[in-house]
Amino acid sequence: MLFCTYRPITAFLATLLAWLTAFQALAQIDVTYPTNRMVVQRDNNNQATVQVAGSFSQGIDRVEARVVARAAGQGTSTDWASIQVNPINGQFNGNLVIKGGWYQLEVRGLRNGQVVGTDVVERFGVGEVFAILGHSNAQGSSCYIDGVDYCPTREGASDDRVTIVPLHTDTPDGAATFYQYELTADTRYLPGLAFEKLLQYNGPSPFSKVAWLWGRMGDVLTQRINVPVLIYNAGFGGSNMEHVYKSAYDIPFEHGFIRYDLRMPYVNLRNLMNLYVPSTGLRAVLIHHGENDRGNPTDLIVTHHYGVIDKTRQEFNQPNLGFIVALSSFVYGPFDNVRQAQSQVINRANYNTYQGPDIDQITSREDRPDGLHFSPAGQAKAGEIWANAITDDILRRIQPILPQAQPMASIACAPTGNQLVLTQPDGYEYAWSNGSTDRSQTVGAGTYSARLRNPQKRIVFPPAVTVPAEVRPATPSISLSGSETFCKTGSVTLTSNYNGANLWNTGATTQSITIPSAGTYTLKARNPVYGCLSDATTRTVSAGGTDLALSLQASRRTPAVGDTVTFFLTIRNEGGCDAGNVTVQNRLPANLAFVSSSNMTAANGIVSGTVANLPAGNSIVRRYVARLTAAGNYVNAAELTATSGPDPDSQPNSGTGDGQDDAASTQVRTLSSEAAGNFNSPNPNQTPLPAVQSNQPTPDANKADLSLVIQASRSTVKVGQPVTFTLTVRNRGGQTATNITIRDELPAGLQFSSSASGMTANGTVVTGSIAQLGAGQEASLSFVANVTGGSTLVNAAQISAAGQPDPDSQPGNGTTNGEDDTAQVSLRVNGASSGGRLAATESSTQPATSPKPSASVQHRFMGQKPNK
């Protein structure tokens, strides 16, 4: 048996390709698949469906691609075509149908029709892919005679379109890596999808160190068929078909340097079929064996060929895989037993085996200096006849293995920092470009790729993922326009400084929002590609002052026991700012049972309601129905317990007995109340309030200070009933007051009847006098009037004359000026229409311009002005 030596060269595998590079220049669009100089197998219609994938770092809504022939006549350029619409998570992936040729592949990302990023693969081919199986005349070999090598390798290909996955064994690192492959046959020590032009000393993976005859074959074949050619070389010097056969079927054999335990030499063919063919496809296996088979009989050589062919097809589920077999047996002459075996394999019917070149035609000592191996001239001849043997007819007849689509990694935002979590599909072994073997890893800026191996040892190369420097935006800031406090809807706008996607706690995603109410607003910036959120920032907008008032009215004042009464709570916004988040609470007196409500709830005897927003100058009504379960007098009281802003004249949740206008009460009396008890709303939350600074002057010992109070003997009357009005004058000054006159102008519905204290009437004007009233004293006058009609009667009176000036009021200047020498009292006429006082629609707002309903059904003191 003839053993062949490798030409000793200082070489090594290059640290590989882009997929092993963790940090590349980052771009808005980065095409990571196909890789530069990659060639994929065309189909028999001279085209391929090509997967185009990569990464993007700026928001895009469409990815387009095209190919441009690198030279005239070397391909069919295409127009821009959409390969994916609305890609997400920083990756795009689509297909482009490309005719056979040698191209520049161009990709661009668009947003709203505008190009925002581009990238190119400088060289990419759709053409023919071949795998070589053979001995030293296939792998490349030296031939030393008298210490001189007469068989150095030829230079590589001259045509740019002849491509390989290179083994850079001419460098120390590359040689060391390849040595590890020779020791283990592990594909981890072979390059991935890193392609180069075939040069003199970058031999084709997985087992050739030099160009040998294949550069010349590639040149001639490429120029004839006018498409690029990709070559893999599994040749093993010193082997024959028997070694390939036995290693394929795990049949032990002895050899001086071929390691059966690694399943050499068949493992090289297995490895390229597992490692590269799924990505690039394959047209055929070129068998260049024979010289080392000359010691075996013809039938055994045939058996070995059939066994290797069948095993390859079966192992890779490719029953139609084509084999092109050279006639090659020459060792100082041809061997018929070998040639007959090769011819029998070639001519087997329907076996998808085809005749390659007749290598035995190369016979001269010039071409074969040692009687076997090729000189550079012999290599050129062998390359040319190999190229000519791969005829157009053979290419048409062989059904190729087409490239498979590669799976995609998935991407998610890491919990913190400018990092992403990259996760490969399940069910594989993982070898990342940064050394990780985990399925997922958390990474920062850089380009990350992996080779994945399934349980059947098939290897795929998911398109690399390029991670930009920033995937999580910096914490944004919020600026405010308008008032520093929320007053009315539209008065405050918050704006993010992040000119991208924003996420507010309101759910808005715009850069600016007009806030609906006071409160704390949270903002995060969102990366438009990956969706990663920044840390949160907040801005609190306090509520502007609102002036809220509450009134409480009952639909019936004198129901029977067991009857229901509807209570109306009217909340008015009397201030200049909108009010939001207002809560009203009504604690029910004993024996007043809640029945129903469409906009309030009840629990533990407390009826509650809320208002989300109440515009300035508007009112809103909440109502509920309750039932009286016992006879008696009921005083039902309510208050506002929560508001969104400060109120100038009241304090929420301070109780219902503090006289503030955010509390109100109403009285209901059953018909039999004379023999019953009194039931009042509980007031457990009454809080002491700071003393109210009086707006009354300090009593002066040298002045009189008169005030007036009016009381009615009943608050609810019927037409025809008499009512007694008592008018009480008080002197808070230090001087005796004299010649005091009181004037009461009766409203329509009241008619003067009589007076026991000397008051007289002139039409509707009732007057009375007090001659003298000492300091600190009070005196009362009274009269009786009959009810003649109306619904709600308001009787007002004033001090119309006095013998001395008053420090805080002026006699006779009217009853509506709020001075303490005026007073009024309201009466409700039973059986009369409400006159519109309770007409506010439930859950609606209306301007608070109508007269306020009375906060008390008994009387109102005007002796002290409200401190507003």
* Within-domain flag for 91: yes
| Mean pLDDT value across residues 147-158 | 97
Token output for 331: 């060792």
Contact 238, 141 (CB under 8 A): no
Whole domain around residue 503: which residue ranges? 478-543
Check whether residue 273 and residue 372 sit in a common domain: yes
Helix (H, G, I), strand (E, B) or coil at 853: coil
What is the pLDDT at residue 675? 53
Domain count, the chain: 5
* Within-domain flag for 768: yes
* Within-domain flag for 468: no
Average pLDDT, the chain: 89
| Mean pLDDT value across residues 115-127 | 97
Distance CA 742, CA 710 (A): 11
Distance CA 748, CA 789 (A): 8
Check whether residue 726 and residue 783 sit in a common domain: yes
Contact 532, 526 (CB under 8 A): yes
What is the pLDDT at residue 831? 63
Domain at 52, CATH number: 2.60.40.10
Domain at 753, CATH number: 2.60.40.740
Contact 130, 235 (CB under 8 A): no
Tell me the pLDDT tens digit for each residue of 275-305.
999 999 999 999 999 999 999 999 999 999 9
Helix (H, G, I), strand (E, B) or coil at 475: coil
Contact 524, 534 (CB under 8 A): yes
Check whether residue 372 and residue 334 sit in a common domain: yes
More confident residue, 533 or 648: 533
What is the pLDDT at residue 128? 98
Check whether residue 136 and residue 109 sit in a common domain: no
Check whether residue 355 and residue 215 sit in a common domain: yes
Residue type, 517: S
* Within-domain flag for 453: no
Check whether residue 747 and residue 664 sit in a common domain: no
Q: Minimal CA–CA distance to 276: which of 458, 93, 428, 14?
A: 458
Tell me the pLDDT tens digit for each residue of 10-52.
333 333 333 333 333 335 899 999 999 999 999 999 999 999 9
Tell me the pLDDT tens digit for each residue of 540-575.
998 888 899 999 999 999 999 999 999 999 999 998
Check whether residue 507 and residue 617 sit in a common domain: no
What is the pLDDT at residue 689? 53
* Within-domain flag for 400: no
The string over 718-742, giving b where at least 16 C-beta atoms fall within 10 Å of a residue's C-beta and e elsewhere, is eeeeebbbbbbbbbbbebebeebbb
Beta strand extents in 544-676 (DSSP E only): 548-554, 564-573, 579-587, 592-596, 601-603, 606-614, 618-628, 632-642, 663-669
Helix (H, G, I), strand (E, B) or coil at 603: strand
What is the pLDDT at residue 425? 97
What is the pLDDT at residue 841? 33
Q: Of 513, 543, 573, which residue constitutes the final position of a domain?
A: 543
Check whether residue 160 and residue 292 sit in a common domain: yes
* Within-domain flag for 493: yes
Distance CA 323, CA 295 (A): 23
Check whether residue 657 and residue 668 sit in a common domain: yes
Distance CA 868, CA 866 (A): 6
What is the pLDDT at residue 857? 33
Helix (H, G, I), strand (E, B) or coil at 338: helix
* Within-domain flag for 16: no
| Mean pLDDT value across residues 583-591 | 96
The 8-class DSSP code of residue 206 comes to B
Confidence category of residue 861, pLDDT binned at 50, 70, 90: very low
**Residues pairing with 482 in the sheet:** 492
Check whether residue 498 and residue 521 sit in a common domain: yes
Distance CA 108, CA 30 (A): 9
Token output for 397: 């007849």
Q: Of 76, 111, 126, which residue constitutes the final position of a domain?
A: 126
* Within-domain flag for 789: yes
- Cβ-in-10-Å burial (0-12, 13-18, 19+) of 498 comes to buried
Tell me the pLDDT tens digit for each residue of 456-465.
999 999 999 9
Confidence category of residue 483, pLDDT binned at 50, 70, 90: confident
Look at 264-278, 676-690, 776-790 and tell me which has the smallest mean pLDDT.
676-690
Tell me the pLDDT tens digit for each residue of 838-852.
333 344 444 444 333
Check whether residue 673 and residue 573 sit in a common domain: yes
Domain at 168, CATH number: 3.40.50.1110
What is the pLDDT at residue 695? 59
Phi then psi for residue 269, to 5 deg, are -65, -40
Distance CA 74, CA 222 (A): 10
Q: Of 64, 98, 126, which residue constitutes the final position of a domain?
A: 126
How many angstroms separate the Cα of 360 from the Cα of each of 36, 328, 440?
38, 6, 55
Check whether residue 109 and residue 155 sit in a common domain: no
% of the chain exceeding 70 in pLDDT: 91
Q: Minimal CA–CA distance to 594: which of 609, 614, 580, 581?
A: 609
pLDDT over 90 (residue 482): no
Look at 524-538, 690-704, 838-852 and tell me which has the smallest mean pLDDT.
838-852
Domain at 641, CATH number: 2.60.40.1530
How many angstroms separate the Cα of 620 from the Cα of each of 40, 163, 203, 579, 776?
74, 82, 88, 11, 44
pTM over 0.75: no
